[in-house]
Structure 1
Amino acid sequence: MSTKEKGITMSIGRHALGVLAIVSVALTAAAPAASSHPPRNGISTGTASPSGEESAGPRWQPFDLPVLEHANLTGVTAIGRDDAWAVGFTVPDKTIAGPAAAEADQCDAGGLPSLALHWDGASWSQVPVPNLGRINSVSASGRRNVWAAADCGVLRWDGQTWTRTTPVPIPGTDGYFLSGIKAISAYDVWLSGFAWDGTTGDDRGFVQHWDGVRWQLVALPALGDNFDISSVDAGGRQDVWIAGTDYTGKDTTGEKLLILHWNGYGWKQFPAPAITMVIQRVARVRVVAANDVWIAGRGQRDPYGWDINRPLVLHWDGAAWTDTHAPEERGDLRDIASDGRMVLAAGDTYSPLDDTYEAYARRWTGAGWIPAAVPAPGLASISALAPSPDGGMWAVGSVGDETTMRPFIARTAH
């Protein structure tokens, strides 16, 4: 797979089942776990976990959603008890299939239209949004300052309507993927992503900053000839973290994680802990506190990718990054979050060696990772997590196969 194709594949959002509506793959859903309550939207309130292991909290409460057949949720953020957003995309024509469709859809707003849902404390409802294609990430600093990164630009909610903004073009590239966004205030928003060069096949990671008026590229240190920036998060104006992967020497030395911190004046790169996996991909960097930052993703031992995806979780304690030694098992992490009572890492069990998979979640005990309940049984993927200011945690994603795909939203009971 070329670097450009890799970027396109990432933007499709396979992990959240969107690809099931694009690529014709025969998948068989696992049987739902037993529940004493009838499922809503096909989601059980039981505590099923991958591989049949007994799970340990949390207990998930699913929510009714607008009728959204063939839709996918990829991001979630919570501002208050009665104010949260979930974003993603819809698939208007489930008959689209094959790599050509994926190629044509890259930054084609008509391909997979933008989707935004709002929680008002009582129910979720769909809110009109300019169509910029798939929405990949969402972040809010307040009720009137919500930002979302999509395939074809950036969206902003001012409390009444969604409007679009245009990030700075990356010179000498043939396309880009916006991987993450973090809103600190209306005058301080960070955007991460990578662009690709169709001639060399290399990726070029970038970071942009919104100052209240416009987007500006933020200079990065020399990070190699071929790298991406996969996620951004911040604890404040002088506490911004970005993370990605350096592919420059992957054929000889394997991939290397990139971890950088912004202190308000410049970047400092931190060494990643030694990891035995030669493929190292970041899905999310999450700031809980200045001395409590997490990175979640996946790794593989085969340099050519013919291996199971294994969960990858790193932790910053204020002094150094360490490997938390996630379980040696199938697990492809898409997000990690803390609600103040627990740290939860989630995704799915997809593997290049097996097309069947289910939602995956592990909870941190302080000494290691244990199985945790998942919000959706059977064929499912958890795309994003978000702590709720009133306690608990939101989770979003998709369930079902290419003919029954539908989004889910659930929250831990508290």
Structure 2
Amino acid sequence: MKRALLALTGGLAALTLAFRPAPGPWITEEFPAGEARLLAVERIDAHTTWTAGFRTSTEGKRKVLHPVLFGREDSSHTWKRIPTPLDDTNIRINAIGSGPDGDAWLVGDADVALRTIHTARHDATGWKPVPVPLPESALSGGLLGVAAVDDDDAWAVGWTQPNGPLLTFQGLIEHWDGTAWRQVAPPALDTDDWSLRAITANAPDDIWAAGTIGTPEGARPLLLHYDGTSWTRHPAPELGSLSGEFTAMASNGPNDVWAVGRVERGTNRTDHGLVAHFDGTRWSVVDAPVGQGRLYGVTATRDTVAVVGAQNATKPIGARLHYGRWQSLRLPEVGTQGTMPVGVVPTGRALTIVGPAINAPTTGDEDGAITLPFAIRGF
């Protein structure tokens, strides 16, 4: 039996993550036994953090996805599994969004057979699945970012694959009006090759979305802004002839918005972490000490900004801006074969960072490396 399937079957031997010691200020935290790849993290309220992603199993020759959601209170260093209406779907949970009244959203991939993109909402009454119709012309799609302004005002962004040239993607913008998700037209972009990865909301009339857009010269970062009436394209920081993209966003008010991702540099076009800031007037590239790699997560508060990611999807990188100075986060290598931070949130005065950790296979394991969830708290 495949190891991924064993991890999803109750009563069998538990898989545990063989942590390396966390140097300096970091404390590793425990998850329920089993493989999982974390993709998102969100601060749900003043005391609660959620993280989500998916597990995999093999049924015959078919790989099946199993969405997972974990929660943790600040008083604990142990995460607990949270059942959701998405548990029986064959998707990933790609993003979590929290609202001002304690409600929360999960957004994921499309079920092509049902022509539905899966989302779920949690409020004071519990969970409710809320399907999003897959656009009629799309072969597939998914939502990668979600932001809630109020209980009747939320936005989600992502991608679709149109019925046309292979490896061409189009962005998707959806709005929740308290009753249903409804697709919203994007601004004119003069291309059919673009997608959105992240979204952040300051107010009903101040919402940013970010991703990538294809150009004849290569991929470039894409920024869109909603002013309460319509979406418009906003100039991204100038990268010259360098390719790049945005993968995550965060904001601390209308004059303090951040986007992170990657930019190719050097003759070998090596990925380097890309950090950009909006000061209320313009976006500019920020020189943060992250070096080579890609950034996947960012958080912004009144006191600090933190960015995290990985080099070659295995070595963690990260930095924070504190009292006007950037400093390395000195992230520990948690997995024995790779550590890939994908998200960061504030936890009181500390930071919580999550992602997948790759461990070496056990002796005689035919399925290769083991992917397990990790979370560290500190700094």
TM-score relative to the length of structure 2: 0.82
User: Secondary structure of 2:228's partner?
Assistant: coil
What's the CA shift for 1:319? Answer: 0.8
Separation in 2 of the partners of 1:156 and 1:41?
Answer: 34
The equivalent of 1:34 in structure 2 is none
Alignment of 1:117-132 (within 5 A): 117-120=70-73, 121-122=75-76, 123-129=78-84, 130-131=86-87, 132=89
> 2:285 matched to 1:323?
yes
Separation in 2 of the partners of 1:164 and 1:71?
Answer: 22
> Which amino acid letter does the alignment assign opposite residue 177 of structure 2?
D
The equivalent of 1:361 in structure 2 is 318
Alignment of 1:330-341 (within 5 A): 330-341=292-303
1:175 to 140, 149, 157: 140
Q: Write 1 or 2 for the structure with the bigger share of strand.
A: 2
What's the CA shift for 1:160? Answer: 5.7
1:233 to 200, 204, 207: 200
What's the CA shift for 1:89? Answer: 0.9
Q: Residue 246 and residue 40 in structure 1: after superposition, are their counterparts in 2 closer, same or farther (change >3 A)?
A: closer
Separation in 2 of the partners of 1:184 and 1:116?
Answer: 22
The equivalent of 1:137 in structure 2 is 95
2:220 to 256, 260, 263: 256
2:247 to 283, 286, 290: 283
Alpha-carbon displacement from aligned partner over 1:342-365 (angstroms, at most 9, x marks no partner): 2111011117xxxxx311112236
What's the CA shift for 1:159? Answer: 4.1
Separation in 2 of the partners of 1:168 and 1:368?
Answer: 45
Separation in 2 of the partners of 1:157 and 1:369?
Answer: 36
Structure 1: tracts of 5 or more residues without a match: 1-20, 22-38, 48-58, 106-110, 352-356
Separation in 2 of the partners of 1:43 and 1:210?
Answer: 43
The equivalent of 1:203 in structure 2 is 169
User: Secondary structure of 2:341's partner?
Assistant: strand
Q: Residue 405 and residue 254 in structure 1: after superposition, are their counterparts in 2 closer, same or farther (change >3 A)?
A: closer
Separation in 1 of the partners of 2:71 and 2:32?
Answer: 11
CA RMSD of aligned residues (A): 2.9
What's the CA shift for 1:170? Answer: 1.5
Is contact 2:278–2:284 with CA below 8 Å preserved after alignment? yes
The equivalent of 1:349 in structure 2 is 311
Question: Identity percentage over the alignment?
Answer: 24
Alignment of 1:55-204 (within 5 A): 59-68=25-34, 70-93=35-58, 111-120=64-73, 121-122=75-76, 123-129=78-84, 130-131=86-87, 132=89, 133-142=91-100, 144-152=102-110, 153-159=118-124, 161-201=126-166, 202-204=168-170
Is contact 2:17–2:372 with CA below 8 Å preserved after alignment? no
Separation in 1 of the partners of 2:253 and 2:164?
Answer: 41
TM-score relative to the length of structure 1: 0.75
Is contact 2:289–2:328 with CA below 8 Å preserved after alignment? no
What's the CA shift for 1:194? Answer: 1.0
Q: Which has the higher contact order (CA 8 A, sep 6+)?
A: 1
Structure 2: tracts of 5 or more residues without a match: 5-15, 111-117, 360-367
What's the CA shift for 1:278? Answer: 2.9
Separation in 2 of the partners of 1:213 and 1:205?
Answer: 23
Separation in 2 of the partners of 1:391 and 1:266?
Answer: 37
The equivalent of 2:237 in structure 1 is 273
Is contact 1:40–1:63 with CA below 8 Å preserved after alignment? no
What is the number of equivalent residue pairs in this alignment? 343
